[in-house]
Amino acid sequence: MSKNIVSAPINAGGNSIVGDGNIVNFIDGLGILLQEYKDQLTNITNLINTFKPQTALKLLNDLEDRIKDIEIPQKELIKGKILYLKGLCKAEVDTYTKEDAASDFIKAYKLNKTDNVFRDRACIEYLNLQENEKSGLLADEILKDDEFNVSGWFVKWVLSDNLSETIKALPKKLIQNSDFIASLIFRIVRKEGFNSFEDLKQYSIEYKFDINEYKELTFANKLKWIINIDLLVNKFFSEFPLRYISGDKLIVENNTGLNYALQLLENYVLTLDKTELSDSITPYRFYYHYLRYLIKNEENDYLKLIDNYNNLKEIHWTFTVCVCQVLNHNKKFTEAIKILNEYKDKGGEITPEYYIFKAVVLDTLERYDDVEEMFLQYLNLKDIIDERTVLNFFYTFFNVQKKYADLDLFKREYDELQKKLYDFPELKELVKVTLKINFLDDKGEDVKKQLREIKIDNFSLIGCKTLIARNYEGLGLRREAISCLETFVDKEKISEELRLYIHFLIMQLYDRDDEGRKYKELLQLLKFWRENCDYVDESFLIVEHNLFLDINDLDNLEIIDVLLCKYFPENEQYQYFLLSAIDKKRDIEKIELFSETLKTSYENEILGVNVAILLLRNEANKQKAFSILYNLAQNKSNKNARRAYFTNSTIFTEFLEKFDEAKIGNWVVYSVDNVTDKVKITTNEGLQGKFIGKKVGDSFIEISRFSGVNNKIQILEIYNDAMSLFREITEEAHNPINELGFESMNFPTKVEDLEEFLKNHLGAQGTEHQRYINESLNEYYNCAKGFIEITKAVFNEDFIEAYNRLTLNSESKYTTIPSALTNNDIVEDYGLDFSTLLFFYDLETDFGFKFKHKFKISFQVKSALEQKIQELKVSPLSTLSVNITLDKVEKFIYPENINEIRIEYLEKVLQWIKNNCVVDNVMEKLELFPKLKENEKNFDSDFTKMLVDLMYMSSRQNFRLISSDSFIFINNLKINVNNNILNPEKYLKTYHVEKCDEIFYRQLLKWNYVGIEISFGVLKNEFVDFLAGKENYYLKAIDNLQFSLHSNPNIIYTCSKFLKEIYLFNSITIENKNRYAFDVIASSFNQMPIRIISIYEMTIKSEFKLLGDYYDEVVNVFSEVKRLYRIN
């Protein structure tokens, strides 16, 4: 940007090149001068410090002329001072070259070699005159006396053959001097082959910038501002290489370095704009408006950018490509081509980038032949193809041609590329395989072999290494692509290659055919990217949202959704995301606060309805929820909104207003000659005006205009817009072919006819449904279905209803997993499924169990309870339900406070969870769940999430899921994973054996538990009460003896002992003894192996060998049962 700073360092501390203090020292050093000369130099100093170098230079020339022919003391010293100041002025005036300024500085030094300021500046300026030897000698001389001298070390470094080694030799004081290091970096970035600021690592330095050091631009610190503006802009360009951009928004946002550069440029331009340096800052104005445009996309910056480009005295390629980029963004492609052509016609330096950029613009204009010509011209620039050129081939020329070119074109260009020489053989191989894979549709085994033979370590540019990884992905070898990237990607630095690596991990996670399981690393990298990247990557945030939602990591989910709403505030989906996340955390206060920011008019009907229902369910901002539904439901095509408005009307009845007296804005329902109509009062004139002030029941006469007939109008109802909409939807719902999902019926007027009416209209459907329920329950009772399956099939995915119905309904059964089949190795972590949680809650509530473990539960368990409570709080009271079949209408009457009873129960269960459980996010399900969710229909329901959680928890190592669900148990066996399910009975008998007595087992029988172990004591107690006619569960105990339910061979000893007890009861007749014995043996025989039956028979005979006739009786009964089961 400035012609005179290529070789100049920013000096610091006592070595300032120029500044207020320096110039004052010049004047003070001339103490023997006449006051006249002091005053003139003071005036010149002030002019320089106020950026008036032209005026100062004129005065310096006048002063120089005046003392030329007169004799004054210390004339040579005065001439040196004047020359030095002239050098400062010439360095700022465009009509002088850097050589002109350098000559004055060196003349000043030669006139007074004892002045260290003159000496240090001359040391630098010899470089601008190409007098490197003199500069070096002077630097050596300086460093003999001043080992920390900035100018001396800068010159030594510039003239060094090994810059990195010279930097290592620098004094620590200079290494810590950020201004001096910035001067070195400024020169490094202009070296040929410099690619990015990452290259600074080879010099063991880094660029550091502190915006707090830039409060005010002065003449003394101007050079520091120039260098850092330049470095910040260069750093931005190296991180975001100039590329074709076309669309509504540029890719630049929240780039800290870019924002700093813009701040410096704004201050720099505004400070110098009205000074004598105004004409020289056009390049800075250009970059100021360019950077502003990148961030804000405002037309004013676009117009001023073009204006400043036209005012540039020298047009360099950087200016041209920047202005063309902005033209492209404004879809002015023809103008961009015109500027590119003018640049070339005026003799601008034609760099390789010229052909690249022009090719992209020509492609946009669909001048495809010209694109090919650009490629050939670019190719002919290169005698030997290097890595950078290869990247330009693929990421520019071939990338744009791929949209339209045929195989013939690529084959032609492939042939041209094969004729060229390459830096090394494998670079040529990379070109060949990349063309074959991506442009010649050759993805065979030979190409795979060629790609695998390329050694990535032979490439120096990360872009080429990345190209190899992309080729693996192009061949469907994603694992190899990821492995390839892992060899060179720095996972602690934001870069395009890291972004690609993350992208591949995301694809792997969602690809059903890819078994990659790097979800932990993916989450870590997404977080790193989010916290360290200068711009917001929406797609990555969405992935994080989905993954945190999958595992119900609500804290992180809220963080992500807050960011989505912050950066994309108009996105309705993201608003719902955040609202839903807060809802899952049950933070009503936050819901209230956030709801205030929500709009009431939604473009997306489904999102709007979901937002409204969520607010209503939480009883938060009911006014906002109602307004959303009302606005959506007014559109007759919004069937979901109209249905929601209708069904939720009982929640917001306060907004459905009726009035006694009519006013403007009201709806009035009235009758005329037995015809009912309605009108909205919008004016106080005409017929509408006559309604105003009238009340319900009032009537008035309206005379017909034409016939003069008196029409009596009577007011029937008065209500508001909300009620009018409700009535409108109600009328629609009565339409037999409505699309709202409702069906209306004309019920009989006589109550005695109602039951037959219901059976006729709904009985067939009810009978079919009841048949399905009965079949499903029978499958569950016979262990063909598990608890989670029956919950879905019969109980509408309501785990609470399923467990309570199965355990509290006397005609039901609750099946368990046999203790003999589960492993009870001691572990530290135990988890509960939904039914076991409810079971343990009952045990603590009714029997005083105090559990020793903190149980892990799925988030879905706690969420289901909380959601049920929410629904009950806002649901209208229903005290009647009916079950209608062709045979009968069953009525179920509930108490008036049924909702309160249910809420109280559920809140107690929640409190038990708080005391006894911790929520487990089951992170490991990310290895499978995203794949299934992406590829399976309806896989994202809460029910499915619950199932997946339980499947993963049940297969963890060093973990036991306490469950009675045979579905999970059997499924784990089928897929051959760890089957770490423990049934509740076995857990309780391990840790709470003192509580597992006959009373405990009686309660299990009362709760319809099937598959539990029945002891002799339990059998005897239940049998005795059975005989005595007391409350007993003997028949359920007998049912639990079935070998098919428990698989416990020891049951034969329990049964043998109990049979003996039966026969020893004196009060029972032999016939009844045999009948009871038959029941016991027959039940226990169910699916018992022949081997165990033989032992069973021998055991009974042994028990009865001393019981005389009873021996024969029981043996006969046993034989009878064997015949029943067809056992020889």
CA distance 144 to 165: 20
CB 217 within 8 A of CB 168: no
Q: What DSSP letter does each residue of 892-953 carry, written as one string?
A: EE--TTHHHHHHHHHHHHHHHHHHHEEEE--GGGGGTHHHHHHHSTT--SHHHHHHHHHHHH
**What local confidence, expressed as pLDDT, does residue 10 receive?**
44
pLDDT at position 247 over 60? no
pLDDT (tens digit per residue) in 865-874: 999 998 888 8
pLDDT at position 244 over 70? no
pLDDT band at 11 (very low <50, low <70, confident <90, very high): very low
If you average pLDDT over residues 953-958, what whole number do you get? 90
pLDDT (tens digit per residue) in 202-219: 888 888 989 999 999 999
pLDDT (tens digit per residue) in 734-773: 877 777 776 666 767 777 777 777 777 777 888 888 899 8
Portion of the chain with pLDDT greater than 90, in percent:
58
If you average pLDDT over residues 620-628, what whole number do you get? 95
pLDDT band at 3 (very low <50, low <70, confident <90, very high): very low
> Which H/E stretch holds residue 680?
strand 675-680
Q: How distant, in Å, are the alpha carbons of 346, 741, 757, 887 from that of 760? A: 93, 21, 5, 10
**What local confidence, expressed as pLDDT, does residue 738 receive?**
73
For the record, the structure tokens of 552 come out as 């119900």
CA distance 28 to 41: 10
If you average pLDDT over residues 348-377, what whole number do you get? 87
pTM of the model: 0.80
Residue 1010, strand partner residues: 815
pLDDT (tens digit per residue) in 123-156: 999 999 999 999 999 999 999 989 999 999 999 9
> Which H/E stretch holds residue 64?
helix 53-68
CB 353 within 8 A of CB 377: no
pLDDT (tens digit per residue) in 820-844: 888 778 888 999 999 999 999 999 9
CA distance 605 to 632: 7
pLDDT at position 999 over 60? yes
pLDDT band at 162 (very low <50, low <70, confident <90, very high): confident
CA distance 772 to 794: 8
Least confidently predicted of 74-88, 249-263, 898-912: 249-263
pLDDT at position 1089 over 70? yes
CA distance 990 to 350: 84
pLDDT at position 300 over 90? yes
Angle 98-111/75-90 helices, nearest 10 degrees? Answer: 160
CA distance 146 to 1022: 106
| Beta-carbon count within 10 A of 76 CB | 10
CB-count exposure of residue 49 (10 Å: 0-12, 13-18, 19+): middle
**What local confidence, expressed as pLDDT, does residue 879 receive?**
75
CA atoms within 13 A on the CB side of 377: 16
If you average pLDDT over residues 64-71, what whole number do you get? 82
3-state secondary structure 1049-1109: CCHHHHHHHHHHHHHCCCCCCHHHHHHHHHHHHHHHHCCCCHHHHHHHHHHHHHHHCCCCH
pLDDT at position 287 over 60? yes
pLDDT at position 33 over 50? no
CB 872 within 8 A of CB 899: yes
Q: How big is the CA angle at 277 (ends 284 and 225), to the nearest 5 degrees?
A: 50
Least confidently predicted of 107-121, 277-291, 364-378, 572-586: 364-378
Q: In what order do the strands lie in the sheet with 675-680?
A: 675-680, 667-672, 710-719, 699-703
DSSP 8-state assignment for residue 396:
I
CA distance 44 to 509: 71
pLDDT (tens digit per residue) in 1108-1121: 899 999 999 999 99
Q: How do beta strands 1009-1010 and 667-672 pair? A: unpaired
3-state secondary structure 510-558: HCCCCCCCCHHHHHHHHHHHHHHCCCCCHHHHHHHHHHHHHCCCHHHHH
> Which H/E stretch holds residue 841?
helix 834-847
**What local confidence, expressed as pLDDT, does residue 978 receive?**
74
**What local confidence, expressed as pLDDT, does residue 37 receive?**
63
Q: How distant, in Å, are the alpha carbons of 166, 250, 534, 535 from that of 239? A: 27, 15, 11, 12
pLDDT (tens digit per residue) in 528-556: 999 998 788 999 999 999 999 999 999 99
**What local confidence, expressed as pLDDT, does residue 985 receive?**
95
Cβ neighbours of residue 880 under 8 Å, at least 6 residues apart?
891, 892, 893, 894
**Backbone torsions φ then ψ of 668, nearest 5 degrees:** -120, 125
**What local confidence, expressed as pLDDT, does residue 383 receive?**
86
